[in-house]
Amino acid sequence: MENMAPPRYVYNAPAGTVRRKPGEWVERFAPLVPADGPVLDLACGEGRHTMFFLDRGHPVLAVDQVTEGVEDLASRPGAEILRADLENGNPWPLEGRRFAGIVVTNYLHRPLFPHILAALEEGGVLLYQTLALGHTRKGRPSNPEFLLAPGELLDIVGGELSVVAFEQGRVGENKQAVTQRICAIRKPPGQAMDDIPLHPDPDFGAP
């Protein structure tokens, strides 16, 4: 069809599969991640957010227990790929590393939260989104171990990070997925929330 814009952020992954587009929460708040700062894509899967942040000029460390899906990104400047099982009781594999942005989507292993928060440098931005309780009614997973409790992400970052945005509820096609998502920032000392621009476009979201 003429004049049809090509889809944004649909990439060819190895074996002819197609990378899904980045989550809209990640896309929306990515501009808050300090420019050129290193990003961690934890439990990166096929690396849709790894590629998204590489495209935005960030160095990205992509971590997953299965890294075949991101092999095609390994040669990209700034890309680093780490295969690691994050749940086998081994020490946190990123000890001492700090990131300007940490993105975790569709993954939950609660013992990692202290490490995730500690890995966020001053001014750094946490973008976290995963399924929440209530999703049990809609499909898998049904085990509450893998589902956030109401307000849980707020409780986790509370006291340590400043919340820029938080949502919980049904999203997606036919509102099938019950999700919870947060954008929170480790403010440098002295910075007020009203110093934080929510979007680089000055007209975006204006009242």
Ligand X SMILES: C[S@@+](CC[C@H](N)C(=O)[O-])C[C@H]1O[C@@H](n2cnc3c(N)ncnc32)[C@H](O)[C@@H]1O
Q: Nearer to ligand X by C-beta: 64 or 152?
A: 64
Element (H, E) at 154: helix 152-157
Residue with token string 């085990």: 143
Dig out the tokens for 38 from the structure: 């290193």
Measured from the CB atom, the residue of 129 and 168 that comes closer to ligand X is: 129
> Residue 113: what are its φ and ψ, rounded to 5°?
-55, -45
Enumerate binding residues for ligand X (CB under 6 A).
Answer: 43-45, 48, 64-66, 85-87, 105-107
Task: Quote the least distance from Cβ 87 to ligand X, whole Å.
Answer: 4
Task: Write the CB contacts of 7 (distance below 8 Å, at least 6 apart in sequence).
Answer: 21
Three-class DSSP category at 166:
strand
For residues 106 and 142, which CB has a smaller minimum distance to ligand X in the complex? 106
Its sign, for the CA torsion 138, 139, 140, 142, is positive
Contact 118, 95 (CB under 8 A): no
Smallest gap from residue 22 Cβ to ligand X (A): 8
- Decide whether 137 or 140 has the Cβ nearer to ligand X: 140
What's the min distance (Å) between Cβ of 85 and ligand X? 5
The CB-of-47 to ligand X minimum distance in angstroms stands at 8
State whether residue 169 is helix, strand or coil. strand
Tell me how far, at minimum, the Cβ of 107 lies from ligand X, in Å.
Answer: 4
Q: Which is nearer to ligand X, 123 or 134 (CB)?
A: 134
* Smallest separation (angstroms) from ligand X to the CB of 181: 12
Q: Go through 101-140 and write b for each residue having 16 or more CB atoms within 10 A of its CB, e for each that does not.
A: bbbbbebbeeebbebbbebbbebbbbbbbbbbbbbeeeee
Per the CB < 8 A criterion, the answer to whether 158 and 182 are in contact is: no
CB of 3 or CB of 90, closer to ligand X = 90
